[in-house]
Structure 1
Amino acid sequence: MTAVLITGTSSGIGRAAAQRLVRRPDLTVYATARKTETITELAESGARVLPLDVTDEESMRAAVEAVEAEHGAVGVLVNNAGFGEYGTIEETRLDGVRRQFETNVFGLSRMTQLVLPGMREAGRGRIVNIGSMGGRLVFPAGGYYHASKYAVEALTDALRFETAPFGIKVSLVEPGLIRTRFSGDAAQNLADSAVPSGPYAALNSAVDHQISESFRSKLLAAPPEVVATAIERAITAARPRSRYVVTPAAKVLVHTRRLLGGRFFDAYLRVQFKTAP
């Protein structure tokens, strides 16, 4: 049995991944959250439940040690925990940005550091980092969130090369718009950071509208189960891809940005958010 440790399973992508993977007889799934009472449903489905706060060193160590005590090593780490601190670069409070990087970047990094010795000793392992299409392109009022996901891109690329000689495979899953509570949290963070009569009021209003409309769109957004499917592929494929871009809309945006360059994408954003040239 391979032990799979998933961070951030209280909702959204993490919960969907745990629900999907727990059905597999070859995996023992460890679902984690800061408050285990939020994931009792996963325990009832067959997952092992552990408390885990990826901003707390003691909590991270305890979770990894609990899995290693039973299995010798963490077989698969899914770094999913994260959130979006939205707002313009000028107006967003940096204490929120620091909390975001502690979760999205440093928590992911520390969890990776903690599982790697056991994986190296076992001569195998998988690490799946949940990034975002937002690690490949940037929307206004999301700069700090995108910066955290760009960091995950870089860390994953370096890690994939560094760990390959030890039999450890590393993949990055890059979801597009996924219908989770992320959109509501992002909109709330945007509202909290925005100055109602400030210089970015019109832009913030346009961004808030786009968040609401885009995440409700059946064409642009998808349920978290589609990301769970990609995570399962990254875990089980004999030769997993380095990247899994999830949702058709995300694939179009990522490749359009790459092929047509920054000037075209800026023009697209001016139309989308109705800003002056």
Structure 2
Amino acid sequence: MAGRKTTEDPGGARGLPRALYESELARLQQELITLQEWVRAEGARLVVVFEGRDAAGKGSTIKRVAEHLNPRIARIVALPKPTGRERTQWYFQRYVEHLPAAGEIVLFDRSWYNRAGVEHVMGFCTKEEHQRFLHQCPQFERMLVEDRILLRKYWFSVSDAVQEQRFARRLSDPTRRWKLSAMDLESITRWEAYSRAKDEMFVHTDTSEAPWWVVESDDKRSARLNMIAHLLSSVPYQAQETPRLTLPPRPPATGYQRPPRELQTYVPDHAAHLRG
């Protein structure tokens, strides 16, 4: 909410201890693999939507969800701004082609809800387009659910003070500066406008068929665990029987001779320079 302040460390130093966090994350990631195998075996289709404030921890949570999953089964969809042709399509059209087939999981790093958030607040769509989205979105999602797509929607909430701290760290860290854009910084001055847009969006799209689940993310470690644990609890998956695999004995050599090494081009040994 606008004006809410906190001094809680966003990395979790005053929240969940690292050792406890890492232990539980490892357990949950193992369960995600079990969920993945159930999706594959049952031919299920799972869509997980990640939305929320800038710097609220969506990306880092998606990274932990997908970290050990099979990329042939679970994929991340993070679409760029629409092309000229896509802007003339039905708004939901370019998202439909990324929906999962049987046995697949799709993680939307932002989604069709761009129209209810940044497009609306920044004036990238008309008022009529925004209102049409709020009217059509529940119908669109109802069709997904009626077609037996498992749809889960998570909104990552962060306080204004913690968001500003995270922006400042991104500005000073060359490895994370790419995460910060001029539009992200604009969200600081439009905090209340984004709050009102989110509230209106929830009124129209927080439905019984496709409810929103809010993730408090001032403590990133707790947010990741909470979101993953909830996702697992919301899907009726079961462990699948896996075939027992054993390493076969290596057959005896038959006289193969490797070509001389000098016939191949190797990357320079950068590590050797580090060793001195």
Q: Output the TM-score relative to the length of structure 1.
A: 0.38
Q: Per residue, is there more helix in 1 or in 2?
A: 1
If you compute each CA radius of gyration, which structure gives the higher value, 1 or 2?
Answer: 2
Q: Output the TM-score relative to the length of structure 2.
A: 0.38
